[in-house]
Structure formats: structure tokens, C-alpha cells
Amino acid sequence: MLYFVSVIFKQEFVEICGNQITIGIKTKPINGAANKEVIHKLAKYFSISSSNVIVKSGTKSKEKIIEIT
């Protein structure tokens, strides 16, 4: 399933409404660290492996499309 994800920095939360996810992370967006934290948090939230969470677009943006398989 595809989700539209909005990332907010300096906060810790996950909110899901339909296919829209708003997620707060503490990691700074340096060398892909923020994307890794987003993937890890979503995998933990959905109780799945991190390999099942794929960033389809927006790797360098606060707005992302993520596929969860």
C-alpha cells in the first residue's frame, strides 16, 4: 500500500489518517539518516521488517511517498 508521508523534525510521533502519515523524528537529514529513522519507525509501528518499507519518492524532501508491503 502507498502512503503519503509528511516529516516534521524535532518531535517524536506517528499519526495515520487513511493513506496520509505525519511522522515526527529527531534525526537531522544528513546522509539519509532521517529516511532511515522514518523507515525504522514505520516498520515498528506496523510490526513489520524494515525491508518491507520502501521510499518510492521524496528521499530529499519532507514530503514522501512510501510503499509498505
Task: Kindly report the pTM of this predicted structure.
Answer: 0.92
Confidence of residue 45 (pLDDT cuts 50, 70, 90): very high
Residue 22: the pLDDT is: 98
Contacts of 50 (CB under 8 A, 6+ apart): 39, 40, 43
Average pLDDT over residues 44-68: 96
Three-class secondary structure assignment of the chain:
CEEEEEEEECCCEEEEECCEEEEEECCCCCCCHHHHHHHHHHHHHHCCCHHHEEEEECCCCCEEEEEEC
List, for residues 1-31, the tens digit of each pLDDT value: 999 999 999 999 999 999 999 999 999 989 9
d(CA 68, CA 9): 22
Domains defined along the chain, listed by start:
2-68 (3.30.1200.10)
